[in-house]
A and B are shown apart, each in its own frame.
Chain A
Amino acid sequence: MKRTLPFIIILVVLGAAVGSALYFTRSTPGSNSVSPSPTNSSAPANAPQPVLTGVAGADPPHTQGSPNAPARLEEFGDFQCPPCGLFHPILKQMQSEFGDKLQVTFREFPLTPAHQHAVAAASAAEAAGMQGKFWEMHDLIYEHQNDWKDNFDVRPIFEGYATQIGLNLDRFRQDITSEAVAQRIFLDGKRGHSMGVKGTPTVFLNGREVPFESLPAEKLRVILQSTIAASGNR
């Protein structure tokens, strides 16, 4: 018995380790909710994600795509968050694949104090928005995230981007510290909190949260296809 006891103990621990890993992987909130969010049909019995409206965010919101699109995706993002930077090209790809069937809205959700430049980046994007070039700045900031996120002073870098996209630099410098920009960021954050956003990127599709593990392109594509198909617009 003494010779076999250690092997029995090892097997028991192995079983407990594998079992618990499988159990928690499958029971993670949202992991069973990869299914799409129907827009014009009644919610399925097992639909785990409620439709959330939340309080109003900054108005007007930054949107791309048709307001009548069957798939309306709202992202709460932080420009300094690496997963948001990774999600950026995925969303671009989805926009090119789904065209006018997908509308994208970006909401500011800078995570302070975790990311020391998150508010500065959000302010730069919003200040660019004051001159009608939010998305140009949004794209530059995300695409060059690794170039600025570890810098001590990011303002000259963002001013460089402002020049690059043809903004009036004096106005950009004024807007970036303006009350209007701060208010937009505050209102987007308030909306995020009202919808239960705790981290970034958090994505809602037609008001339902898309589980974080469903954000890779291959999974998000399936969800978007099904959502569009369910709306009868495919």
Chain B
Amino acid sequence: MKLYLTAAIVSLAGLADAIYLTIEHVTGQSVRCTIVAGCSEVLSSQYAVVAGVPLALIGAAAYFGVFSLATLAAFGYRIAAVLLTPLVLLMFLVSLWLIYLQAFVIHAFCQFCLFSAAVTTTLTVLVGIAVIFRRKTT
């Protein structure tokens, strides 16, 4: 239960990060170049938008999904705990893909994207431990 509660709180950090990036994307502020390299290259790349939807907005929806499922799981909803695992795993795989793109395709790193990857990795570890505990107790 505490693991899911922790996951819910951690996902709020990812949600805030993704909302910030969405706002920056919509208003165009973050895609302007500054003396700090990285975000403008990443956020103005073709990978920042999926089918016309900002990737940051999709990320915000995913983090809200994790928050909702983790909260429900913390309150004992088993189905939420079951659904949370594939969602977090998918987000982790997407994060790995995005880090690959930043490192080898775009050749620039955006600190906000790296923070999101760190949050997703933390969520993966938390949910992984929760799954192991759940299997041991059943």
Contacts and interface: CB of A to CB of B under 8 A. Distances in A.
Interface of A: 2-3, 5-6, 9-10, 13-14, 17, 20-21, 24-25, 28, 31, 78, 81-84, 86, 111-115, 150, 198-202, 211-213, 215
Nearest to B71: A6
Nearest to A85: B44
Contacts of B32: 83, 199-202, 212
Interface in B77-104: 77
A211 B71 CA distance: 40
A150 B26 CA distance: 28
Interface in B101-132: 107
B138 interface: no
Interface residues of B, number: 31
A5 B8 CA distance: 14
Given A25-B26, A201-B32, A2 B75 contact: yes
A150 B104 CA distance: 12
Interface string B21-44: 011001111011111111011001
Contacts of B40: 81-83, 199
A95 to B, nearest CB: 22
A148 B116 CA distance: 30
